[in-house]
Amino acid sequence: MLEDNEMVAFYDINPAAQTHILIIPKEHIISVKTVQISDYDLLLRIKAKALDLLKTLGHDPETSRLGFHIPPFNTVNHLHLHVLGGSFESAATSVKYEKGRKWYMELSELLVELEQRRSLVEHS
């Protein structure tokens, strides 16, 4: 679907929603638990690409979901962003990607966490 020097994007083989894309950084990052402050700019570029794809496919980014599964609830030990647009296949499927669940972290939450960590480092 899309590939550049930093990331690859493709449709999920088992879509949970009308549109379900995975965006994977080429740099190996195991999971949200191993993301470093230095990954912040890459994550911003991944977010921009996700929003662009959603708009291109006719989805409202404000009602779409962008996020990651948190170990041990992830299935692959390589960070991959779930980009979900449109209606979900079922209510049960939707729960797998809900904000505030112990197994799922929205991209926006991860970016805030990295901003806070960077601020602590800069002020210490």
- Domain count along the chain: 1
d(CA 51, CA 61): 6
Full residue range of the structural domain in which residue 87 is found: 2-122
pLDDT in tens, the chain (124 residues): 899 999 999 999 999 999 999 999 999 999 999 999 999 999 999 999 999 999 999 999 999 999 999 999 999 999 999 999 999 999 999 999 999 999 999 999 999 999 999 998 888 7
Among candidates 6, 9, 46, which has minimal Cα distance to 26? 6
Cα 82 to Cα 14, 18, 36, 98: the distances in Å are: 12, 13, 19, 12
Instruction: State the catalytic residues.
Output: 80
Question: Which run of H or of E encompasses 8?
Answer: strand 7-11
Q: What is the CATH number of the domain that holds 48?
A: 3.30.428.10
